[in-house]
Amino acid sequence: MCSKRGDRESPIIVTPAMTTTTTPWQSFITCVDLTEKVCRLAACRSPLPPRRTAYCSDRHAREFERNHVWLYARRAARRRARWACERCGFKPSEIRKNPDARRAYTRHELRLEVNHIAPLVGSYRSVTCLNHLDNLEVLCHRCHLVATREQRDDRPSWSSSVE
């Protein structure tokens, strides 16, 4: 292809990166086909109304985000757990209200952390099907340390997988 610039012609170089239509995050969404012109929410899949490009409604867009985008999935998991650890029932908000009880905990222990039950193991983090709410659990810092240790122990080591 050539385009005219003034009186001389110069070639337009098209690189493979320019022709790729998928963005990096789209390859990590495996629960729905993103190429079809239907709602991306797996439970809906209805044809898109005019002027819509991905979801049939804003409610379905938010639902897709809650199950795929880490920022929204983490918040939804904490709400689902009612801001308490799902293993031991620890509620940091009750400790924060009492200054005497607060002294017994570090700043990190007064946070709720969201753990992936099936670990990411170096996978793309922000938009992926591993962020589905059924793969997330809300844990206090102490329980999260235990869960991470268990996941590490269950995973085969790198040196044994090479042999």
Q: Residues 99-123: pLDDT tens digits?
A: 898 999 998 899 999 999 998 877 6
- Looking up tokens 């938009």, which residue turns up? 127
Residues 137, 153: Cα–Cα separation, whole Å: 19
d(CA 73, CA 79): 10
Structurally, the chain folds into a number of domains equal to 1
The reply to whether 7 falls in a domain is no
Does any domain span residue 63?
yes
pLDDT of 72 strictly over 70: yes
Would you say residue 12 lies in a domain?
no
Phi, psi of 50 (to 5 degrees): -60, 145
pLDDT tens digit sequence for 6-59: 445 545 454 454 444 556 777 778 888 888 889 988 888 899 998 898 899 999
Supply the range of the domain harboring residue 30.
24-157
Alpha-carbon Rg for the chain in angstroms: 23
Mean pLDDT of 74-88: 96
In a domain, 17, yes or no: no
pTM across the whole model: 0.73
Would you say residue 118 lies in a domain?
yes
Residue 159 has pLDDT above 80, yes or no: no
**Residue 4 covered by a domain:** no
